C-alpha cells in the first residue's frame, strides 16, 4: 500500500500512525510486523512521542542546530542538510503487530519526516506475516 503525503513546510513531521493502523486492519494482519518505508533521499520516518506537539518542535530545533539548513555544503541543489537529516533518521521502520494491534508504546506515534519540502511524497507499507 502507498500513503500519499503532501507536506506544506520545508521541514515537518506528519503523523501517519492512523494510516498504518488502517492498513494493518485492511490486511487482516493479526501477528507479524509492518514495514514503513520512505523512498526519498531527503525525507525519513521515525517513531517518537505523539502526546505533546512540543516534542516534534524540539526535535526539529535540535536537529537544525546540529545540521543547519545553510552550511558549508557543496551539493549543487542546496539541500545537503536534508540528505544528511534523512540519513540520520533513516528510510524505514518496522513495527510489530500482535492481536491485530501495532505494538507501540502509550505515547508513541509514527512520523513521516520532511526535510526538503513542501513536496508530494510517498510512504510504502508492507505487511510481514
Overall pTM surpassing 0.95 (yes/no): yes
CA atoms within 13 A on the CB side of 105: 7
Rounded-to-integer distance, Cα 14 and Cα 41, Å: 17
Q: What is the tens place of the pLDDT at every residue in 36-88?
A: 999 999 999 999 999 999 999 999 999 999 999 999 999 999 999 999 999 99
| Domains parsed from the chain with CATH numbers | 2-128 (2.60.120.460)
Amino acid at each position: 500500500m502507498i500513503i500519499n503525503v503532501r507536506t506544506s513546510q520545508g521541514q515537518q513531521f506528519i503523523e501517519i500512525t492512523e494510516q498504518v493502523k488502517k492498513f494493518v486492519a485492511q490486511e487482516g494482519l493479526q501477528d507479524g510486523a509492518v514495514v514503513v518505508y520512505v523512498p526519498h533521499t531527503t525525507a525519513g520516518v521515525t517513531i517518537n512521542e505523539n502526546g505533546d506537539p512540543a516534542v516534534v518542535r524540539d526535535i526539529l530545533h535540535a536537529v537544525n542546530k546540529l545540521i543547519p539548513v545553510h552550511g558549508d555544503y557543496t551539493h549543487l541543489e542546496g539541500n545537503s542538510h536534508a540528505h544528511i537529516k534523512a540519513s540520520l533518521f533513516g528510510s524505514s521502520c518496522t513495527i510489530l503487530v500482535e492481536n491485530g494491534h501495532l505494538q507501540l508504546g502509550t505515547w508513541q506515534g509514527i512520523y513521516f519526516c520532511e526535510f526538503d519540502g513542501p513536496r508530494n511524497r510517498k510512504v510504502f507499507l508492507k505487511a510481514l506475516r
